[in-house]
Amino acid sequence: MAVYRGNFLYTPALGQLKVVERGWLITENGLVRSLTQRQPAAAGPLTADFGDALVLPAFTDLHLHAPQLPNMGLGYSEGLGGWLERYTYPVEHRYADPGYAHQLNAALISQLRRYGSLHAVIMGSTSAAAAADLLEQYRRSGMWAYVGKMNSDYPGYGVQNEQTAPSIAETVQLAHRYGGPGRVRYAISPEFVPCCSDELMAALGQLARETGLPVHSHMSEGESDLQLVRRRFPREGCYAGVYARFGLMGSGPSVMAHCLTSPEEEIALLKQHGSFVAHCPVCSLDLAGSGLPPIRRYLNEGIPVGLGSDIAGGHTLNMMQVIVAAVQISKLVVQQKPQLSPLSEVEALYLATKGGGAFFGRVGSFEPGYSFDALVIDDRDLGQLSPLHLSPAQRLERFLYCGDDRHISRRYCAGRELTAL
Amino acid sequence: MAVYRGNFLYTPALGQLKVVERGWLITENGLVRSLTQRQPAAAGPLTADFGDALVLPAFTDLHLHAPQLPNMGLGYSEGLGGWLERYTYPVEHRYADPGYAHQLNAALISQLRRYGSLHAVIMGSTSAAAAADLLEQYRRSGMWAYVGKMNSDYPGYGVQNEQTAPSIAETVQLAHRYGGPGRVRYAISPEFVPCCSDELMAALGQLARETGLPVHSHMSEGESDLQLVRRRFPREGCYAGVYARFGLMGSGPSVMAHCLTSPEEEIALLKQHGSFVAHCPVCSLDLAGSGLPPIRRYLNEGIPVGLGSDIAGGHTLNMMQVIVAAVQISKLVVQQKPQLSPLSEVEALYLATKGGGAFFGRVGSFEPGYSFDALVIDDRDLGQLSPLHLSPAQRLERFLYCGDDRHISRRYCAGRELTAL
């Protein structure tokens, strides 16, 4: 049992912020047992008192590309072709070198920890060895991650990244090696329909059905790739139709990044299969041009939504900046679609914690039974000289807009404090 | 004479990036005398070698509100009424206390220096004493600033902030006290048409004509305030028409913040009078709803444009984030207005340096005769493990997206290194 005191803030439901000022949080075996305003009778000695700091559930980064870590902030005005050729492909290629991949994976885990993203859904390159290394390092980190080697065997954009048979064989092997329960698991990760053969998708779908492992892919990043899918699969007519046909949606948990231009039938399939949408708002701003996703619409439909940094399509791992971008984009969407209301900061925080966290299970909240994955926020240097007396909720809002990694003073995962970086 | 070596980058014109790798920059009396690839014969001993760091012209923040420093990151989803009432008015009120204003002004100067905004156009509250204090502190800082007490005597939104006669008298006094040439000067700062009486605007316009001092105000922040102006001034029909009538545009340099919804006749008047537009893209994202300004259109017209943080309408003083937001917004504008091309990172950097710097004179470039106002950027911890060999121009781009105050290792203003914060 561990006993913590502090100002605890969490979002039990979309749009709800629960604040327990100077409350008592009890954990057992790394899980939250209770969070109360008054000291529980059964509480043992205090494990840690966080004083006047804010304590939040740790963030979930629901979509990012491991090999792209060195490319953040590069090439956003290049156009897709130049971006892929000058930046994306060279680093993906280099990531096939095991020694390099090992170093890069260590840096990635360290950076995600730094920004408080203690749960992450990560796509690798086509290299199975690099994905295995990332899974191994994550197992030692104490953090949560679903990681997959990317499958990409079809020259939808002219380049074939790998052969079908080894892609399947390597994936099956990894899926069985890292398929057990736990905080770190394999995620079946087809790049996206335009770069996957029918044979590959059928095999991965079968693997998903057999293992129940999560599936992680991209969906409807713009009108042009949607047209490509429509031409190749006229009967299915959209990404979701293709994924559903091959068992890549509906077999186990699935998460689809972007969904910028999902047609009605795709929205219906996402809903039917309970697939998560990984909303990547910083990427939508950095590579603006493909449209802004109607996240409120998805939420109204009951589709589960989380937030992703999508590095290096987005330029930052800082989930506070991702939250702010989600709010900003939602306001811009309202200008185009006045029937949709904007997201509040509290709603965007929900997406970054319990919303996306649900992909991992009972993660992203301080309700009983949830994994005690928490960030302690020391915001004393923000808003100095304010004549206002700010509530914890207002301080939270300010931290989301103005905070950075320097304000995250302690990190807990599954009840254990993560050591210094 | 001082002699510097380093990788110098600057933008002599919109869209042009000049890179002098391991070049030699010579200054005399704080001004750039030459920047050359080869060591000039006349160069004395090296004053400083910046090694492999990048050296950029310091930023110009062309629009911000001093008293709003403590409100960054608060209330952006409140709606204008709640935002003004809960946040804006209380801090503006508190800023009337001289002791508090002195502390806040010191913090503001320190923060602007931290982020490399060594030139700033700053609006105060209605308090003349607080504006005078900020001008005094700026004179001791070595940095550039045009500062004004805000004039706001007309209840356009129901609240009258001050009386007309003292507003004019205090402003005349400050204008004469801080009207001389130099890096720190008074800026005549009517809040905006809806909150200024005819009598006030006439008196301030006369002052502008008599002194040639810069004028700093707001313009066309949205359709609703534009309608208010149209109803009160049907003949002038827009902000610019009113400012021009009263001599607040065209007498000396003028800078107008926002210009989100400027009608054609306003664009023509901005051009005619050479008025600067202070583009505040972070504010346009934080308070999205009033539209996105067609900055490319203004640039095509030859209207001078710079960037502003607009704290606390924007949530950050970090000019790199402001530059990135300008690029992002320009891409969103293209979706609505396909005839306008997006801004590149290099163009946005121009706006943040030489573009806005022109409001101060020969500032924001490393061309001969420009004030040596420079930032040394140590980007060694960005993009670690990159397999790519990045050019200085690529490193610059990455710094703009991913850098923060920690990457600005040294700051120079008028040839003098600014001491530690």
pLDDT of A200-237, one tens digit each?
999 999 999 999 999 999 999 988 889 999 999 999 99
B343 band by pLDDT with thresholds 50, 70 and 90: very high
B289: pLDDT strictly greater than 70: yes
Q: Which of residues 287-306 of B touch A (CB under 8 A)?
A: 287-289, 291
What average pLDDT does the segment B25-40 reach? 97
Confirm if B39 and B99 have CB atoms less than 8 A apart. Answer: no
Strand partners, B401: none
Residues of chain A contacting B344 with CB distance shorter than 8 Å: 77
DSSP state of A11: -
- Whether B131 has its CB under 8 Å from any CB of chain A: the answer is no
What average pLDDT does the segment B66-80 reach? 92
| Chain position carrying tokens 């911890």 | B381
Cross-chain CB nearest to B387 (options A90, A324, A388): A90
- Whether B233 has its CB under 8 Å from any CB of chain A: the answer is no
Domains of chain A by residue range: 2-58+364-417, 59-357
Subunit contact A402:B335, Cβ cutoff 8 A: no
Tell me the per-residue pLDDT of B192-248, one tens digit each, with 9 for 90 and over. 999 999 999 999 999 999 999 999 999 999 888 899 999 999 999 999 999 999 999
Residues of chain A contacting B383 with CB distance shorter than 8 Å: 70-74
B421 band by pLDDT with thresholds 50, 70 and 90: low
A42 band by pLDDT with thresholds 50, 70 and 90: confident
Subunit contact A87:B331, Cβ cutoff 8 A: no
Confirm if B343 and B306 have CB atoms less than 8 A apart. Answer: no
- Mean predicted lDDT score pLDDT of chain A: 96
- Chain B nearest CA to A144, separation (Å): 24
B215 closest CA partner among B181, B258, B257, B182? B257
- Whether A338 has its CB under 8 Å from any CB of chain B: the answer is no
A383: pLDDT strictly greater than 90: no
- Whether A310 has its CB under 8 Å from any CB of chain B: the answer is no
Residue A421: the pLDDT is 53
Q: Which of A80-94, B213-227, B347-361 has the lowest mean pLDDT?
A: A80-94
Residue A420: the pLDDT is 62
What average pLDDT does the segment A397-420 reach? 95
A384: pLDDT strictly greater than 90: no
Q: Select the more confidently predicted residue: A42 or A263.
A: A263
- Whether A286 has its CB under 8 Å from any CB of chain B: the answer is yes
A164: pLDDT strictly greater than 90: yes
A78: pLDDT strictly greater than 90: no
What average pLDDT does the segment B306-333 reach? 97
Q: Select the more confidently predicted residue: B419 or A313.
A: A313
What is chain A's Cα-based Rg? 21
A94: pLDDT strictly greater than 80: yes
Residue A372: the pLDDT is 98
Cross-chain CB nearest to B385 (options A70, A73, A400): A70
Q: Cα separations (Å) of A167 from A126, A153, A185, A252, B163?
A: 8, 8, 18, 21, 76
Residue A267: the pLDDT is 98
Residue A374: the pLDDT is 98
Q: Cα separations (Å) of B74 from A54, A119, A379, A382, B324?
A: 16, 28, 14, 11, 21
Subunit contact B289:A334, Cβ cutoff 8 A: yes
Q: Which of residues 25-64 of B touch A (CB under 8 A)?
A: none
pLDDT over 90 for what percent of chain A? Answer: 91
Subunit contact B74:A383, Cβ cutoff 8 A: yes
Cross-chain CB nearest to B90 (options A87, A344, A387): A387
- Mean predicted lDDT score pLDDT of chain B: 96
- Whether B99 has its CB under 8 Å from any CB of chain A: the answer is no
B420: pLDDT strictly greater than 90: no
pLDDT over 70 for what percent of chain B? Answer: 100
Subunit contact A76:B344, Cβ cutoff 8 A: no
Q: Which of residues 71-90 of A touch B (CB under 8 A)?
A: 71-77, 87, 90
Cross-chain CB nearest to B328 (options A90, A285, A335): A285
User: Which chain B residue's Cα is nearest to A106?
Assistant: B385
Give the C-alpha separation, B350 to B11, whole Å: 6
| Chain position carrying tokens 């649900």 | A358
The fold adopted by the segment(s) A59-357 is TIM Barrel (3.20.20)
- Whether A380 has its CB under 8 Å from any CB of chain B: the answer is no
Domain spanning B2-57+364-417, CATH architecture: Roll (2.30)
Q: Which long-range contacts (CB under 8 A, 24 or more apart) does B90-97 make?
A: B90/A387, B90/A388, B91/A386, B91/A387, B91/A388, B91/B67, B92/B67, B92/B68, B92/B125, B92/B126, B93/A387, B94/A387, B94/B67, B95/B66, B95/B67, B95/B124, B95/B125, B95/B127, B95/B130, B96/B125, B96/B126, B96/B127, B96/B129, B96/B130
A339-366 as b/e: b if 16+ CB within 10 A: ebebbbbbbbbbbbbbbbbbbbeebbbb
Tally A–B CB contacts below 8 A: 140
Residue B107: the pLDDT is 97
- Whether A389 has its CB under 8 Å from any CB of chain B: the answer is no
Cross-chain CB nearest to A289 (options B100, B331, B386): B331
**DSSP3 helix / strand / coil % (chain B, rounded to 5):** 40, 25, 40
Subunit contact B74:A398, Cβ cutoff 8 A: yes
Subunit contact B77:A285, Cβ cutoff 8 A: no
B173: pLDDT strictly greater than 90: yes
Cross-chain CB nearest to A288 (options B328, B386, B397): B328
Confirm if A117 and A60 have CB atoms less than 8 A apart. Answer: yes
Domain spanning A2-58+364-417, CATH architecture: Roll (2.30)
Give the C-alpha separation, A119 to A62, whole Å: 8
Residues of chain B contacting A327 with CB distance shorter than 8 Å: 76-77
B412 band by pLDDT with thresholds 50, 70 and 90: very high
